[in-house]
Amino acid sequence: GAVVSQHPSWVICKSGTSVKIECRSLDFQATTMFWYRQFPKQSLMLMATSNEGSKATYEQGVEKDKFLINHASLTLSTLTVTSAHPEDSSFYICDPGQETQYFGPGTRLLVL
């Protein structure tokens, strides 16, 4: 099946710093990447959709200037959390949205 990797798997950072999360599709080309966020003890919510070669689309309530998404190639999409705050602490998961719906393993972000 489709393999998706995420890096890093864990990150702890200070408030005010920026964190970049990479999502790679290892054995297929992903023209689209969905980015989900899961707060502790909650379900997953879609944050944004990245499209290779074009601007990402953001869900209502998600700040596009804070969560920068880049999808520069068919195998790599990145999410950068800028000026991170403790309330951004969450589990971030990417999904190429293929019919088989394989997710990346997730990145757990803790902002101190």
Partner 1 sequence: AQSVTQLDSQVPVFEEAPVELRCNYSSSVSVYLFWYVQYPNQGLQLLLKYLSGSTLVKGINGFEAEFNKSQTSFHLRKPSVHISDTAEYFCAVSRTQGGSEKLVFGKGTKLTVNP
User: What are the residues binding partner 1 (CB under 8 A)?
Assistant: 30-32, 34, 36, 42-46, 49, 93, 95-106, 108
Contact 79, 21 (CB under 8 A): yes
Nearer to partner 1, 16 or 105 (CB): 105
Nearer to partner 1, 51 or 82 (CB): 51
- Which residue is associated with the tokens 């899961």? 38
Nearer to partner 1, 50 or 78 (CB): 50
CB of 32 to partner 1, least distance (A): 4
How many Cα atoms occupy the beta-carbon half-sphere of 55 within 13 Å?
A: 4
Q: Cα–Cα distance between 64 and 58 in angstroms, integer?
A: 7
